[in-house]
């Protein structure tokens, strides 16, 4: 009987402790649920989706700068696997910025080292009066690399196998003067004599023609800084450009006008024409 009373008293004395212990456990359980929920939210990753080209029959280029075949494209993200060379310029001419493949043209173009975002987003898609601008570098590259009037002749033939070009339009009025000056650092820009090639012009000064700088000079804004142009700067196709037509040239070749070439793959140091004076980069 005594033992039973003792046990009963001990149980009664422990019951407040038991209640406190249960209360603490409930608090811990509630807090741990909250923590796990927070961690779960943080752990969610945003799904990535790629823009891709659709022009080719076999290859695709995505906006990450990879080229792959259509079968290897991830069905959910629409991205290339990310294997191989990023920003690949396979089959591209670095001077003219033209390629023999549309997909590799886009891949090469989206490289931030080659295409400046702040410049291309200002480029008009069509006529400046009515057109909008590109929304991204990939949109610019995908549009620019398609066939255009600068790469064809007689409307049914290509000027060159390298007819996918991503360079900014040569007559763009938005040229960055500071950037152009930096690219021409150390270059002597010399106006040649009538019918003279740039190889000959530079050699007469004890220098050599710098082929890759012809691309910099092949813009109306730049040509006008060195030549008269008499109000006209015209798109043309010839290995003697950029150049100025001499004043006594026949009327059908636009006397006094300046010329830039539409086909940048034709830029050449040894080109010449009997009715033009060339603008030459020498060093």
Q: At what angle do helices 102-109 and 137-144 cross, to 10 degrees?
A: 150
Per-residue model confidence as pLDDT tens digits over 142-200: 988 886 655 555 455 666 677 888 877 654 444 455 567 667 888 999 999 999 999 99
pLDDT of residue 8 exceeding 60: no
**Model's pTM, two decimal places?**
0.52
Q: Which two tokens stand for residue 85?
A: 């060379």
Work out the widest C-alpha separation in the chain, in whole angstroms: 136
CB-based contacts of 15, cutoff 8 Å, min separation 6: none
- pLDDT-derived band at 232 (thresholds 50, 70, 90) equals confident
CA 228, CA 282: separation in Å to the nearest integer?
20
- Gap between the Cα atoms of 224 and 234, Å rounded: 12
């Amino acid at each position: 009987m005594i033992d039973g009373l003792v046990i009963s008293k001990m149980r009664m004395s422990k019951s407040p402790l038991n209640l406190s212990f249960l209360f603490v456990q409930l608090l811990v359980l509630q807090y741990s649920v909250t923590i796990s929920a927070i961690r779960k939210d943080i752990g969610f990753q945003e799904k990535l989706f790629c823009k891709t080209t659709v022009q080719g029959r076999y290859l695709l280029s995505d906006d990450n700068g990879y080229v792959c075949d259509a079968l290897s494209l991830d069905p959910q993200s629409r991205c290339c696997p990310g294997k191989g060379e990023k920003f690949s310029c396979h089959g591209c001419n670095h001077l003219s910025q033209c390629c023999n493949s549309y997909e590799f043209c886009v891949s090469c173009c989206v490289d931030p080292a080659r295409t400046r975002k702040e410049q291309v987003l200002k480029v008009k898609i069509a006529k400046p009066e009515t057109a909008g601008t590109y929304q991204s570098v990939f949109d610019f590259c995908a549009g620019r690399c398609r066939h255009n009037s600068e790469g064809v002749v007689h409307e049914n033939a290509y000027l060159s196998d390298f007819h996918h070009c991503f360079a900014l339009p040569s007559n763009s009025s938005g040229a960055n003067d500071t950037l152009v000056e930096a690219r021409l650092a150390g270059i002597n820009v010399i106006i040649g004599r009538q019918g003279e090639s740039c190889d000959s012009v530079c050699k007469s000064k004890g220098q050599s023609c710098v082929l890759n700088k012809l691309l910099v000079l092949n813009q109306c804004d730049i040509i006008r800084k060195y030549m008269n142009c008499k109000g006209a700067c015209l798109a043309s196709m010839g290995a003697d450009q950029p150049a100025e037509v001499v004043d006594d040239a026949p009327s059908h070749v636009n006397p006094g006008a300046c010329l830039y070439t539409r086909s940048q793959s034709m830029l050449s140091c040894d080109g010449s024409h009997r009715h033009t004076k060339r603008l030459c980069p020498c060093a």
